[in-house]
């Protein structure tokens, strides 16, 4: 083992140690941990105005106007847990759940509400309550024990509690309250004009609190608050775009007092489509910097604090580190964005409008999953968006994609089941012509169509329109001849980007129908998807160049037409190399939103070198440029130059978070909730990297060391899972090793493939040898 690999081995050991508790006793399995009710991990916690307090749920239930908790509205909630332990090939064989009406009864082993008995099953997720009828506004106590594959029982888990809602329903997605975190400035200094300057390190949506001593009774403190600084180090008073700034005027009282100034609200961010802040939190503003004008000698600022507001977020759930410092900074930028922009509890478009949009939600969802094992925000956002449609044609088509991701990552089909009939119109099949292609511009949109989409006078219009990317030519805040972000896309009635999304939506609806056991719908969507794909390739692919055209009736090929088709599997195999060459020739000729699909396309086509080049680029159209301009969250556009009213807190720019996890490190669920896990690293020129990814079954750990003559990979799959491991292949003479022993594997294009890898840790190595013949090449392990 090389020195480098010993280093990466040590790093992974630390990762694994952080999630494994090996029971010293050989007579019991490790007790289950991370108990959840309807996917809520913090159902037993209590908050007051955003701050966690030491109160029981029973106490909080008596004063629900004072305290905030998660409330379970499902009449038969689902239970889940993580199987603890790190031994190789560990899996669960049985479980027993107890639900009680008091902690004393549960402590005595009495499940007076439900005792499941010993159930022989490996299920650890989605176990539906099956006991006495639950009452509203009531606290219940539960625990679980399990048996492992050696027949050993665990101790009972720690007791967990949940509080039911005032009205119980067949199913409703629960959520935790928004939370506040008290933060101190990372830096404090005095500016050249005598003003005091505070830097909180990163931008966050929050509020300010000051402890101020004043000898007078009529003093006023002037405070500048903002996201940016000017070239002299002061808070920027006139920032570009919709980068935020406010001047606060705080009347002071005599003596030492706390002050909580209230931010003014923006008209756009509190409009009819905006998600408003709850009363128990109050108004927030994104800011990093605070500058206090030099007070007179009678005033002293004793303390300045920020109350950062966000949805519950586990900062340690997912971690990534690599040999590329820019890539590490981009990861941190995107991960922080996931936390900071969760401040409403739903996926929104940023601070300017605070409005949910489907395209924002799709990218936000994937990057949320890459950052934390939290799945109910996506469910609630989908539920909201299905009934509050927005105007772009492609946005409607993304609802089934969000729904499929929801089921694939959470394993919980209930949101999809509830929304299934309303998801069907989102495929836009009612706008299809005989060959299966759809168009939103041929007069087929009537009132019944708008009603089926739940589209009601968005921006004064009850009709969808093609968008391709945003902004388009002459976008908001730009000159009329500004090129926009569509790479010169030629709009026609039948648009290749729209129809790529249409095809993808049909594929997802087929998968959802299969999950819901709706066989006739499976057959229907399979046929419609096959027809759409055949027509797409016939109409939109140029027979001479092999490229994808923007639409029917034009010969123009844009980046968008080609990257979307490649991302969704619509480019014939024989055309992929031509399409990849064209994509590379266009550079980053798309928006931060479009970059999601560009990177998906590149990595899925195994062009990892170019994918890494874009992720680590320092050009103006790059994530590094967001950092360089001063933002600590992903921005709405590559630069204000490309969108005049852009903000500095837009999660639709966070594609690298999910691309790093799913494509570069190659960790994806192959079955719902990571029961079967794919690990397929596409390192490109990256020398080494390590990842910890939280899932509902526990953490997945991956690390690689990429050398000229070899590739080292260490993997850890949590208990009760299995996986498929891909290793890079250079030629047939590669030598493969697993835990130091020589193996053979399947040949899958540019990879070696090992199936049915059991839970636990494995160390893999590929030694690249000179080409020579091996009789047993590509045989099964």
CA proximity to 28, closest of 165, 186, 211, 156: 156
Q: How far is CA 99 from CA 104, 126, 138, in A?
A: 12, 15, 13
Kindly indicate the confidence band of residue 480, based on its pLDDT and cuts at 50, 70 and 90: confident
Q: Which residue, among 129, 85, 33, has the nearest Cα to 696 in the 3D structure?
A: 33
pLDDT at 778 over 80: no
Residue 238 to residues 170, 300, 380, Cα–Cα distance (Å): 51, 28, 36
Looking at residue 774, what is its pLDDT? 43
Q: Helix or strand or coil: residue 689?
A: strand
pLDDT value at position 478?
80
Cβ neighbours for 331, distance < 8 A, ≥ 6 positions apart: 320, 656, 657, 660
469-482 average pLDDT score? 85
| Of 178, 174, 160, 162, the residue nearest 73 (C-alpha) | 174
Q: Report the helix count and the strand count for the chain, using DSSP H and E.
A: 18, 29
Phi (first) and psi of residue 412, to 5 degrees? -105, 110
**Contact indicator for 72, 164 with CB cutoff of 8 Å:** yes
pLDDT grade for 298, boundaries at 50, 70 and 90: confident
Q: Which of 185, 342, 348, 335 is nearest to 692 (CA)?
A: 335
Chain Cα centroid distance, residue 78: 22
Q: Which residues pair with 392 in a beta bridge?
A: 465
CB 362 within 8 A of CB 655: no
Mean pLDDT (the chain) is 94
- For the packed helices 358-371 and 594-604, what is the interaxial angle rounded to 10 degrees? 60
Q: Among residues 152, 142, 143, 146, which one has the least CA distance to residue 123?
A: 146
CB atoms within 10 A of CB 443: 7
What is the C-alpha to C-alpha distance for residues 559 and 572, in angstroms, rounded to an integer? 17
Is residue 328 within 8 A of residue 69, CB to CB? The reply is: no
Confidence tier at 19 by pLDDT (50, 70, 90): very low
Tokens linked to 573? 């195999």
The tens digit of pLDDT for each residue in 489-517 reads 999 999 999 999 999 999 999 999 999 99
| pLDDT (mean) for 261-266 | 94
| DSSP bridge partners of 714 | 703, 763
pTM (predicted TM-score): 0.94
Give the whole-angstrom CA distance, residue 88 versus residue 723: 13
- Angstrom distance (rounded) from CA 29 to CA 191: 60
Q: Please spell the DSSP secondary structure of 133-191, one letter per residue.
A: PPPTT-EEEEEEEEEETTSPBBPPPPPEEEEEEEEEES-----PPPEEEEE--SEEEE-
Q: What does R_g of the chain's alpha carbons equal in angstroms? A: 27
**What does the chain come to in residues?**
781
**Paired sense of beta strands 698-706 and 196-214, if any:** unpaired
Distance linking the first and last C-alpha atoms of the chain:
23
Q: What percent of the chain has pLDDT over 90?
A: 89
Q: Does the pLDDT value for residue 776 go beyond 50? A: no
Q: Output the CA–CA distances (angstroms, integers) from residue 61 to 50, 246, 594, in the order listed.
A: 16, 38, 46
The pair of structure tokens assigned to 533 is 């794909």
Is residue 336 scored above 90 in pLDDT?
Answer: yes
- pLDDT tops 90 at residue 5: no
Residues paired with residue 308 on neighbouring β-strands, in sequence order:
181, 206
Return the number of other C-beta atoms located less than 10 Å from residue 7's C-beta: 13
- Predicted confidence (pLDDT) per residue in 563-586, tens digit: 999 999 999 999 999 999 999 999
User: Worst-scoring range by mean pLDDT, 9-13, 25-29, 95-99, 156-160?
Assistant: 9-13
pLDDT at position 1 over 70: no
Residue 257 is inside which H or E element, if any? strand 255-259
Query: What backbone phi and psi angles, to 5 degrees, belong to 408?
Result: -65, -40
Place of tokens 């022989």: 120
Q: How far apart are CA 288 and CA 236, in angstroms?
A: 11
| pLDDT confidence tier of residue 771, bands split at 50, 70 and 90 | low
- Check residue 22 and give its pLDDT: 41
ω into residue 412 within 30 of 0, thus cis?
A: no
Whether pLDDT at 25 is above 60: no
Write out the two tokens for 324: 């590329």
Grouping H, G, I as helix, E, B as strand and the rest as coil, residue 107 is: helix
Three-class SS of residue 745? coil
Q: Is the pLDDT of residue 141 over 70?
A: yes
Nearest-angstrom CA–CA distance, 731 and 776: 14
Note the pLDDT of residue 26.
53
Q: How far is CA 613 from the centre of its chain?
A: 22
Q: Tens of pLDDT along 390-413?
A: 999 999 999 999 999 999 999 999
CA-nearest of 648, 654, 625 to 335 is 654
Q: What is the pLDDT of residue 177?
A: 97
Give residue 13's pLDDT band: very low, low, confident or very high (50, 70, 90): low
Structure confidence at residue 475 (pLDDT): 76
Q: Looking at residues 265-293, what average pLDDT do you find?
A: 95
DSSP bridge pairs for 551: 495
The answer to whether residue 8 scores a pLDDT higher than 90 is no
Asked if residues 280 and 263 have their Cβ atoms less than 8 Å apart, the reply is no
3-state secondary structure 635-670: CCCCCHHHCCCCCCCCHHHCHHHHHHHHHHCCEEEC
Which long-range CB contacts under 8 A does 569-576 form with residues at least 24 apart?
569/604, 570/500, 570/503, 570/533, 570/536, 570/537, 571/541, 572/537, 572/541, 574/546, 575/541, 575/546, 575/547, 576/605
> How far apart (Å, rounded) are the C-alpha atoms in residues 710 and 590?
36
CB atoms within 10 A of CB 275: 19
* 359-381 exposure pattern, b = at least 16 Cβ within 10 A, e = fewer: bbbbbbbbbbbbbbbbbbbbbbb
Which phi and psi (to 5°) does residue 628 adopt?
-60, -35
Per-residue model confidence (pLDDT) at position 58: 93
Residue with tokens 């691309």: 659
pLDDT greater than 60 at residue 15: no
When pLDDT is cut at 50, 70 and 90, the band that residue 216 belongs to is confident
Question: Could you write out the DSSP letters of every residue in 281-300?
Answer: T---EEEEEEEE----TTEE
pLDDT at 777: 41
For the chain, what percentages of helix, strand and coil (3-state, to nearest 5) are there?
30, 25, 45
Residue 23 has pLDDT above 50, yes or no: no
Asked if the model's pLDDT at residue 745 lies above 90, the reply is yes
What are the residue ranges of helices labelled H in 493-593? 496-515, 519-540, 559-567, 576-586
Q: What is the mean pLDDT of residues 41-47?
A: 96
Res. 21: pLDDT tops 50: no
The single residue listed with the structure tokens 């080494």 is 688
Which token pair is 611?
């994918």
Nearest Cα to 672, choosing from 377, 322, 409?
Answer: 409
pLDDT in tens, 145-182: 999 999 999 999 999 999 999 999 999 999 999 999 99
What lies within 8 Å, CB to CB, of 209 at 6+ separation is 182, 258, 259, 260, 303, 304, 305, 306, 307
**pLDDT exceeds cutoff 50 at 183:** yes
């Amino acid at each position: 083992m090389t020195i480098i690999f010993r280093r990466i081995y040590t790093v992974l050991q630390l990762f694994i140690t952080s999630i494994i508790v090996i029971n010293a006793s050989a007579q019991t399995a490790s007790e289950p941990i991370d108990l959840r009710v309807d996917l809520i991990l913090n159902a037993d916690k209590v908050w007051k105005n955003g701050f966690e307090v030491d109160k029981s749920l029973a106490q909080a239930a008596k004063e629900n106007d004072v305290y905030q908790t998660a409330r379970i509205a499902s009449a038969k909630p689902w239970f889940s847990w993580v199987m603890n332990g790190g031994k190789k090939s560990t899996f669960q064989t049985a479980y027993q759940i107890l639900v009680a009406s008091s902690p004393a009864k549960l402590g005595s082993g009495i499940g007076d509400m439900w005792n499941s008995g010993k159930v022989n099953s490996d299920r650890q997720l989605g176990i539906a309550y099956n006991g006495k009828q639950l009452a509203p506004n009531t606290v219940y106590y539960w625990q679980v024990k399990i048996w492992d594959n050696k027949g050993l029982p665990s101790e009972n888990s720690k007791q967990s509690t949940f509080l039911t809602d005032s009205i119980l329903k067949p199913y409703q997605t629960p959520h935790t309250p928004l939370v506040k975190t008290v933060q101190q400035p990372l830096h404090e200094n005095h500016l050249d004009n005598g003003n005091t300057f505070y830097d909180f390190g990163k931008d966050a949506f929050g509020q300010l609190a000051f402890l101020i001593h004043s000898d007078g009774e009529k003093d006023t403190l002037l405070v500048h608050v903002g996201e940016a600084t000017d070239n002299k180090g002061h808070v920027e008073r006139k920032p570009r775009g919709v980068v935020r700034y406010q001047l606060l005027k705080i009347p002071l009282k005599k003596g030492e007092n706390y002050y909580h100034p209230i931010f003014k609200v923006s008209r756009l961010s509190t409009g009819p489509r905006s998600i408003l802040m709850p009363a128990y939190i109050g108004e927030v503003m994104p800011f990093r910097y605070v500058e206090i004008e030099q007070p007179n000698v009678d005033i002293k600022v004793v303390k300045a604090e920020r109350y950062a507001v966000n949805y519950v977020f586990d900062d340690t759930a997912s971690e990534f580190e690599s040999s590329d410092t820019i890539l590490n900074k981009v990861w941190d930028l995107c991960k922080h964005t996931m936390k900071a922009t969760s401040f409403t509890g739903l996926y929104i478009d940023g601070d300017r409008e605070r409005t949910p949009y489907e395209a924002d939600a799709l990218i936000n969802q994937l990057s949320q999953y890459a950052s934390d094992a939290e799945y109910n925000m996506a469910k609630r956002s989908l539920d909201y968006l299905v009934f509050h449609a927005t105007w772009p044609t492609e946005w409607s088509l993304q609802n089934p994609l969000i729904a499929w991701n929801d089921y694939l990552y959470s394993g919980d089909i209930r949101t999809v089941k509830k929304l299934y009939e309303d998801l069907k119109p989102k495929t836009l099949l009612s706008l299809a012509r005989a060959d299966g292609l759809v168009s939103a511009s041929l007069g087929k949109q009537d009132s019944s169509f708008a009603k089926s989409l739940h589209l009601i006078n968005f921006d004064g219009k009850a009709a969808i329109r093609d968008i391709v990317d945003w902004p388009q030519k002459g976008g908001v805040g730009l000159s009329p001849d500004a090129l926009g972000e569509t790479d010169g896309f030629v709009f026609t009635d039948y648009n290749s980007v729209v129809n790529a999304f249409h095809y993808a939506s049909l594929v997802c609806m087929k998968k959802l129908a299969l999950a819901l056991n709706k066989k006739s719908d499976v057959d229907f969507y399979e046929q419609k998807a096959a027809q759409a794909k055949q027509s797409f390739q016939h109409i939109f692919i140029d027979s001479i160049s092999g490229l994808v055209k923007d639409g029917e009736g034009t010969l123009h090929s844009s980046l968008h037409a080609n990257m979307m088709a490649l991302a969704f599997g619509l480019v014939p195999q024989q055309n992929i190399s031509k399409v990849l060459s064209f994509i590379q020739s266009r550079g980053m000729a798309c928006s931060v939103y479009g970059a999601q699909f560009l990177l998906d396309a590149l990595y899925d086509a195994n062009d990892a070198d170019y994918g890494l080049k874009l992720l680590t680029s320092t050009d103006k159209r790059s994530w590094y440029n967001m950092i360089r301009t001063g933002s600590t969250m992903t921005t709405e556009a590559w630069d204000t130059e490309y969108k005049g009213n852009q903000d500095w807190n837009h999660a639709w720019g966070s594609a690298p978070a999910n691309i790093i996890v799913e494509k570069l490190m190659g960790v994806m669920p192959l079955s719902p909730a990571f029961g079967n896990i794919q690990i397929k690293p596409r390192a490109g020129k990256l020398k080494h990297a390590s990842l910890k990814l939280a899932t509902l079954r526990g953490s997945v750990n991956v690390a690689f060391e990429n050398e000229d003559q070899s590739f080292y990979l260490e993997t850890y799959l949590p208990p009760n899972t299995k996986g498929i491991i891909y290793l890079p292949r250079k030629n047939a003479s590669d030598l493969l090793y697993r835990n130091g022993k020589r193996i053979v594997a399947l040949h899958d294009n540019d990879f070696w493939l090992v199936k049915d890898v059991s839970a636990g840790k494995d160390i893999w190595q590929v030694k690249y040898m000179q080409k020579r013949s091996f009789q047993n090449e590509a045989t099964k392990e």
